[in-house]
Structure 1
């Protein structure tokens, strides 16, 4: 029986990650690794009373699967957003958004190679449409100007974000179901705090210790530490378990659409008809991809019942 539940989860994930971009833009006077560090530190503090007991009870399990656990931690929790924050120091948000649309393609390719996942023709068409639609949204319809964009070191840094999230999605599909939900996030954010601490200390030694303003920064940092770092990860991990890595990642193409809508209401930016057209293309691409997946799941369940 078809379930809308994983799709609702992925829509919420995209909303939270859109807020991550908007809030990150609002507090970008802070250095990138400072934002990344306080993000995971706040997440760890929130998760500690929720997941510590579970983490302690399952410590032998974490040790047994320490390699995939470390890969998931470094790729999805520690460095994905760190790459994004670092990239935004050198390049534009539009360039970052364009490059993020490549994540589903890379995930599909890696899933086919590592997990042997297969996509039917209609799903491949959906992936391509969603990528093109997302790029159309970001470039406001001027899609043929991509070759004339001013690419720089920030764009190269975004390759790290693309690869890390693709790897994270694949390992989540393979291993995340083995771990307790809150216990594993507690461990992952704790490891991330340890990994990022020396990095942020180096950043402060070079740039100086930034001043954290309660009125300007704390609300934003709390949002980043709770929703994108905790709630969105729980939802995304659950959706990947139900949809598969490549299918869930397609929903990330909604990110520029939701970000533009958020910018319209919160930042007073305008929405053009070109962006509306691109948003419709993204939605069509996602529907094509997930519709075929739903049919496959239904057929599989019927076969098991027989």
Structure 2
């Protein structure tokens, strides 16, 4: 119930649903469903990453994820390319500079950081720390997209930062910089920074280019980045031949749902909203992640984790009221 209320709040405060006079417009059911699907799918992805890492090394799992997602998205593209409202105009600079940066920040580097991180921290902690994406997005939006930062947004950011700092320091105990907990948190912060950069750049690129085409090319380039990294740094063939059925189920969940479907929906709503407001979706993800973690992984959630999660959610509430 809290998840639905949080999503409802997010939609109600989004500027797309208000006229200039502040009159509430009719909520878009498809927009709500897209947000809900993203929350549930990406919450589940933290669980399936943890499961998949039992059978596959991190970069190999990331490669298999996008090697699965890319053909699915290509098939969808071939059937729907004529329905695109925008054409994508390619040149060498566009492909090798802008799209490779999108692929690095939104696929390869992002998931190398995230998958290695989840070897050391729980799914719930990871899903909370990734919420710093929103803080990075707000700051980047102010710097590069001319979005405004007021006192309430600043307060929300600070409260959210306190919540995340509790998790990084394990309740503000003495920080052990050599601990796996600290390393996992730092890696997840790197993933959050990558995702924020990707979202900012994607919003700019999608102003004049097809969402479906850009998503497909980003996936293909990201897969191309991960392929040599997996073979140079890991032993993917050994893992592939020895993987269990549940390991392969994780690959297909991450590839089909968490990548192909969720990325397309994410880029779709980026077109319709302020970047900082879209980032608010990420704050809701820890709620179902904690539930999934308890029932699927049988991992109890520490009280300090719940406190950190609460502060993060309060932070986004204040930020989105601004």
- How large is the RMSD of aligned CA atoms in angstroms? 3.3
1:41 alignment counterpart: 67
CA distance in structure 2 between the partners assigned to 1:155 and 1:95 by the alignment = 8
3-state DSSP of counterpart to 1:68: helix
Task: Tell me, yes or no, if the aligned pair for 1:18 and 1:255 is still in contact at 8 Å.
Answer: yes
| Inter-CA distance 258–122: structure 2 relative to 1 (3 Å threshold) | same
1:224-269 alpha-carbon deviations (Å, 9 max, x no partner): 0011112211222223223322222233233333211111222233
Quick check: 1:145 aligned with 2:173? yes
Gap runs ≥5 in structure 1: 293-306
CA distance in structure 1 between the partners assigned to 2:279 and 2:115 by the alignment = 20
1:297 alignment counterpart: none
CA distance in structure 1 between the partners assigned to 2:63 and 2:204 by the alignment = 27
TM-score, L = length of structure 2: 0.75
The one of 189, 192, 200 equivalent to 1:170 is 200
Q: Which protein is richer in helix relative to its size?
A: 1
State the aligned residue count.
288
CA distance in structure 1 between the partners assigned to 2:101 and 2:261 by the alignment = 20
Quick check: 1:92 aligned with 2:121? yes
CA distance in structure 1 between the partners assigned to 2:171 and 2:188 by the alignment = 20
1:50 alignment counterpart: 76
TM-score, L = length of structure 1: 0.79
Gap runs ≥5 in structure 2: 1-17, 19-23
| Inter-CA distance 242–161: structure 2 relative to 1 (3 Å threshold) | same
Task: Tell me, yes or no, if the aligned pair for 1:54 and 1:180 is still in contact at 8 Å.
Answer: no
3-state DSSP of counterpart to 2:279: helix
3-state DSSP of counterpart to 2:53: coil
| Inter-CA distance 4–265: structure 2 relative to 1 (3 Å threshold) | farther
1:153-198 alpha-carbon deviations (Å, 9 max, x no partner): 5444434312211110111221124332322222221112222111
